[in-house]
Amino acid sequence: MLGRMSGLRIQVTSVTITTPDPRALAAFYARLLGRPVTTEEGPLPGEPAEAGWAQIRPTEGSSEPSLNFEYERQWKTPVWPSEPGAQNATQHLDILVSDLDAATEHAIQAGATLADFQPQETVRVLFDPVGHPFCLFV
């Protein structure tokens, strides 16, 4: 979104998603969204092999944000719906689709898991391979 306050431009350009394996999660979202992984970096010295960073940029001319995937050493899988004392999912992606059933099947084929609880008929809640919830909606 683009905001203007007294000539000041403020624009969200990317969303950073923490994960225990950034390059693998970027590959999942690349399959899901049909976008290539545009940047990948391996671990820093002393970090495990799965550490690193990756990015998926939108297609040229798109207003969608880039998705960044950043290594989280202290990863704890979020619980959705939330439960007392558990790690909450503090954000999630909402993804507009033209066909909810076909998009749900595509997401599952890409590596997502359908959530047991589905709060709305026109929305499907799924989990990416490391447990972040995301929503498909029409």
Query: What's the pLDDT score for residue 95?
Result: 97
Mention every residue, 6+ apart, whose C-beta is less than 8 A from residue 109: none
The torsion defined by the Cα of 45, 54, 105 and 92, in degrees rounded to 10, comes to 100
Per DSSP, helices labelled H in 1-138 are 22-33, 100-110
pLDDT band at 107 (very low <50, low <70, confident <90, very high): very high
- Mean pLDDT, the chain, rounded, equals 94
Residue length of the chain: 138
pTM of the model: 0.90
Where exactly are the structural domains of the chain?
Answer: 1-74, 91-138
Looking at residues 4-17, what average pLDDT do you find?
86
Q: Give per-residue pLDDT as tens, 44-103.
A: 999 999 999 999 999 888 889 999 999 999 999 999 999 899 898 889 999 999 999 999
| Of residues 126, 106, 102, 89, the one with CA closest to residue 33 | 106
CATH class of 91-138: alpha beta
Nearest C-alpha neighbor of 30 from the set 110, 96, 138, 133: 110
Q: Where does 34-123 have alpha helices with state H?
A: 100-110
pLDDT for 1? 47
